[in-house]
């Protein structure tokens, strides 16, 4: 039943996606946004009912928590589907959360909790007072929308698609593209903060009392983390902070459902999940290019072979110059490094704030010098750069090897002369 409901709902929404894409008129009412939210709720409901009919031993922990052993009443079902604060733009949630909110069991303190730490309520209401966090979310959402309205006058699609854009310099074009993406995300930040504030005001955003701070957490239905997105260091962190509740829906009702029981999800599950996300968004080619590519990126990032290459590159790049070279940091007590060596690290390895220095604390005195003419070829096999970067790496490695050989040559010559009993090289008086 869940897959039948999934195919029917996605097929019905696809008709409206195609109609919207071909009409492309802003003055027409578009219902696909509401349908996207309803699909998350309805498909999750189908899976919850299915899990309620299966033996408990065959269910995972998240399935047991959300399983529905009894079909709810029609009024409760309609109230869940048409829950107004999240109807038009989300966030979506499971029926179990809605029922706990409806019965106010969501706001009960866990066993063993001090009653003095209970949040304040008004009169006989069981829902804690939430006007302050809801107002904060509303103000932040309105601020993002005002910023979007202002910055969209300077950075918009017409500017990038116009003839003047190609007349700008390279750096300015990159800046315009980056700002266009940031301005486009602003409107989503604003809308999702407003809907989250509405859910907090209704009490649905209640997550419980924080044990450490003793304050109420209202981030149960948090849908976006702007700082986490703008400062993300990899694709996984970027996706985890964007449209969080949709990520939960895709993980619980697609990624884990297409994986056979007892097996670990792999590339097929990732590809099916991202393809579903693209199909759920619509039929513009950019959706499929970005989401399918994201499946490959996440699979590569999680693969053991990629981790092995990173560790091997780290071992190759933990180089130590001969002791005859003066130290760049004589007072630190750490081995010296070379600027070219540092550049190679930052080109080939992911950024690590603990390694953002011209020297590495991982190099031990017992490690022998690893400078070799073959280092260039071994590094080029792992280089993600283009031809210019590869040529630069080859020349840099060769320069480092020649420099090391020239510094060691006088030492070797002096050692050879001493072994033969000859005087040291120099002018005799």
247 burial level (CB within 10 Å; 0-12, 13-18, 19+): middle
- Active-site residue, from 12, 17, 131, 281: 281
Secondary structure element (H or E) that encloses residue 208, with its range: strand 208-209
Q: Which of 272, 245, 242, 243 lies closest to 257 in space, CA to CA? A: 272
Token pair for residue 357?
């220095």
Q: What is the DSSP letter of 5?
A: H
> How would DSSP label each residue in 214-267?
-SEE--TT--B-HHHHHT-SSHHHHHHTBSHHHHHHHIIIIITTSSPTTS---H
Q: Which residues is 121 bridged to in the sheet?
A: 128
Contact 241, 228 (CB under 8 A): yes
Q: Is 193 a catalytic residue?
A: no
Contact 109, 115 (CB under 8 A): yes
Distance of alpha carbon 188 from alpha carbon 20, whole angstroms: 20
Token pair for residue 215?
């304050």
Distance of alpha carbon 270 from alpha carbon 292, whole angstroms: 9
Q: What is the DSSP letter of 216?
A: E
What's the angle, vertex CA 113, arms to CA 112 and CA 114, rounded to 5?
Answer: 120
Distance of alpha carbon 121 from alpha carbon 209, whole angstroms: 14
Distance of alpha carbon 66 from alpha carbon 97, whole angstroms: 8
DSSP percent split of the chain into helix, strand, coil, nearest 5? 60, 0, 35
CB atoms within 10 A of CB 26: 6
Q: Which of 40, 37, 42, 35 lies closest to 18 in space, CA to CA? A: 35
Contact 187, 144 (CB under 8 A): yes
Residues annotated as catalytic are 281
């Amino acid at each position: 039943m869940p897959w039948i409901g999934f195919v029917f709902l996605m097929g019905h929404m696809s008709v409206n996606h195609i109609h919207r894409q071909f009409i492309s008129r802003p003055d027409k009412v578009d219902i696909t946004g509401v349908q996207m939210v309803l699909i998350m709720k309805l498909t999750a409901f189908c899976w919850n009912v299915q899990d309620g009919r299966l033996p408990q031993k065959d269910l995972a922990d998240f399935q047991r928590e959300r399983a529905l052993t009894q079909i709810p009443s029609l009024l409760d079902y309609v109230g869940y589907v048409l829950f107004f604060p999240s109807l038009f733009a989300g966030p979506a949630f499971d029926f179990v959360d809605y029922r706990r909110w409806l019965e106010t069991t969501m706001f009960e303190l866990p066993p063993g909790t001090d009653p003095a730490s209970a949040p304040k309520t008004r009169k006989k209401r069981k829902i804690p007072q939430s006007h302050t966090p809801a107002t904060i979310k509303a103000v932040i959402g309105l601020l993002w929308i005002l910023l979007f309205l202002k910055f969209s006058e300077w950075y918009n699609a017409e500017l990038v698609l116009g003839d003047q854009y190609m007349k700008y310099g390279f750096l300015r074009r990159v800046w315009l593209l980056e700002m266009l993406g940031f301005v486009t995300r602003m409107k989503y930040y604003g809308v999702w903060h407003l809907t989250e504030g509405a859910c907090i005001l209704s009490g649905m955003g209640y997550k419980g009392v924080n044990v450490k701070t003793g304050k109420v957490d209202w981030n149960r239905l948090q849908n976006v983390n702007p700082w986490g997105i703008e400062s993300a260091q990899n694709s996984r962190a970027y996706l985890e902070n964007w449209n969080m509740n949709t990520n939960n829906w895709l993980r619980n009702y697609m990624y884990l459902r297409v994986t056979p029981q007892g097996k670990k999800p792999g590339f097929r599950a990732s590809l099916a999940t991202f393809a579903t996300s693209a199909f759920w968004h619509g039929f513009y080619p950019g959706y499929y290019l970005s989401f399918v590519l994201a499946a490959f990126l996440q699979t590569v990032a999680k693969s053991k072979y990629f981790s092995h290459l990173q560790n091997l590159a780290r071992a190759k790049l933990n180089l130590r110059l001969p002791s005859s070279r003066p130290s760049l940091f004589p007072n630190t007590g750490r081995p010296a490094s070379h600027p070219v060596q540092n550049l190679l690290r930052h080109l080939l390895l992911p950024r690590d704030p603990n390694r953002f220095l011209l020297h590495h604390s991982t190099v031990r005195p017992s490690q022998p010098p690893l400078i070799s003419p073959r280092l260039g070829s071994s590094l080029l096999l792992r280089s993600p750069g283009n031809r210019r970067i590869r040529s630069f790496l080859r020349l840099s490695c060769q320069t480092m090897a020649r420099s090391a050989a020239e510094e060691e040559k006088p030492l070797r010559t002096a050692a050879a002369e001493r072994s033969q009993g000859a005087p040291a090289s120099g002018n005799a008086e």
